[in-house]
Amino acid sequence: MFQENATSSRIVARGLKIASQEGLAALTIGRLAKGLKLSKSGVFAHFLSKEALELAIIERAREVFVSHVFSSAELSTGVAKVWSLCDDWLKHIEQGIFPGSYFLNGAFFELAGQSGPVPDRIREVMQEWLDRLKLAVKQAQKEGDLNPDVDAERVAFALNGLLLGGHWAHLLQDYEALEETLAAVMDKLHSLATDKIPPQAFKAVRTFREYLKQRSP
């Protein structure tokens, strides 16, 4: 495990930028050294292998993702937690938190069929996201907001599918796609909601936000 310092942090940041735009396969020690005006041996000394560098970049990407997508949901309960996770996921796409397209999703498609420490870590990070979404659904069921008879894992996969579809459309320059995706997420939650949530709350995204705000502790 490398020891992080100012230089290694710069290397990881530069590597994350390249990988977000072109994929992990585009990373080379020589390219990083040239871009940062360092020697190849200077870059190599911090990580000792390309694999260690890639793992460090994945960890940085996970930290960024968690800080932008998980944090707000920690303050929410019930269906509001599910909504917060989906809403913040779309916001981190809209705000371009990762340069280029979505780094973690791109790395997942690039490496999911492979074996080794780097593909394993990517799968773990993506599974962490799905598990967090599934747990939020289960908690919403427990608190009486969502139908307790539906499979929480299937709901998590369905919501994730909506988010990914919206991201694809956004990348294809449909600039209303993310807003429409959020409305689709709300409609999915409406289809699963119990009588505890008044139907009029789902009239529009704006009214649903207002409902959640009013019921927040």
This prediction has a pTM of: 0.89
- CB-CB neighbours of 165 under 10 Å: 14
pLDDT in tens, 147-162: 999 999 999 999 999 9
Name the band, by pLDDT with cuts 50, 70 and 90, for residue 2: very low
- The residue-averaged pLDDT of 107-116 equals 86
- CB-CB neighbours of 147 under 10 Å: 13
pLDDT in tens, 181-202: 999 999 999 999 999 999 999 9
Tokens 């394993």 correspond to 120
* Greater pLDDT, 34 or 137: 137
The per-residue pLDDT for 141 is 98
Domains of the chain listed by start with CATH number:
58-215 (1.10.357.10)
Name the band, by pLDDT with cuts 50, 70 and 90, for residue 4: low
Q: Map residue 146 onto helix, strand or coil.
A: strand
**What is the 8-class DSSP label of residue 74?**
G
- CB-CB neighbours of 72 under 10 Å: 15
Q: What is the mean pLDDT of the chain?
A: 90
Point out which residues pair with 146 in neighbouring strands: 193
The residues, any chain, with a CB within 8 Å of residue 106's CB and separated by 6 or more, are: 20, 23
- The residue-averaged pLDDT of 7-19 equals 86
Name the band, by pLDDT with cuts 50, 70 and 90, for residue 3: low
Closest CA to 68 of 106, 100, 105, 96: 96
d(CA 100, CA 120): 23
The per-residue pLDDT for 187 is 98
- The residue-averaged pLDDT of 90-117 equals 86
